[in-house]
Amino acid sequence: MEETKIYGYMRVSSREQNEDRQRIALLEMGVPEKNIFMDKLSGKDFVRPQYKKLLRKLDDHSVLYVKSIDRLGRNYTDLNEQWRIITKEHKADIVVIDMPILDTRREKNLLGTFISDIVLALLSFVAENERTNIRQRQAEGIAAAKAKGVKFGRPPLPIPDNFYQVHKDWRAGKISMEEAGRRCNMSAKTFYCKAIKYEKST
């Protein structure tokens, strides 16, 4: 009988700092370090290099561990489709550590599969709904801040003291735009933008 191969999958976004928690949880479940695959990407889709690499290794003698369902994905439709691909096409088992009922090794009968499918559908819906709510709250927060006069993005560079003389020399054809930018300690493009803005204001 072929030995069971144990794998783990982790996903962190660039803003998240929970990589260690996921790794510790996977190691505690007996996943070998070399069999842990991690993507540093959002969960909006499954265009992920390490996930695709992992998928190619899964077969009917594999068990895949993830700490929580949102580490696998947050898009309701895609998440359910990938679950089907892993369990039906690759015939591998999945264990969601934070949700023991989502363990396809248990209750291989029709009722067990039915319960797992319902729980998966519910959790993936909640995961996607939360992602939608986060985006909405961010948009509302930005709109409210803008209404209060809060400005986003980098503050504009202050105009150096020599800008007006440099601008005059540049317009007189004495120096190039690149040289004008260097004298003002800014790029040629930035100098040009500030020059046009200055000319419109005078």
Q: Who's near 27: CB < 8 A, 6+ residues apart?
A: 33, 36
pLDDT bucket at 132, cuts 50 / 70 / 90: low
Q: Does the structure show a pLDDT above 70 at 107?
A: no
Element (H, E) at 57: helix 49-57
The active-site residue out of 13, 14, 68, 187 is 13
pLDDT computed for residue 126 by the predictor:
66
pLDDT bucket at 105, cuts 50 / 70 / 90: confident
d(CA 109, CA 139): 45
- Amino acid making up residue 110: L
Decide which of 20 and 38 is more confident.
38
pLDDT bucket at 108, cuts 50 / 70 / 90: low
d(CA 88, CA 82): 10
d(CA 73, CA 42): 8
Main-chain dihedrals φ then ψ at residue 10, nearest 5 degrees: -125, 150
Does the annotation mark 14 as catalytic?
no
Q: 98: which DSSP letter?
A: T
pLDDT averaged over every residue in the chain: 81
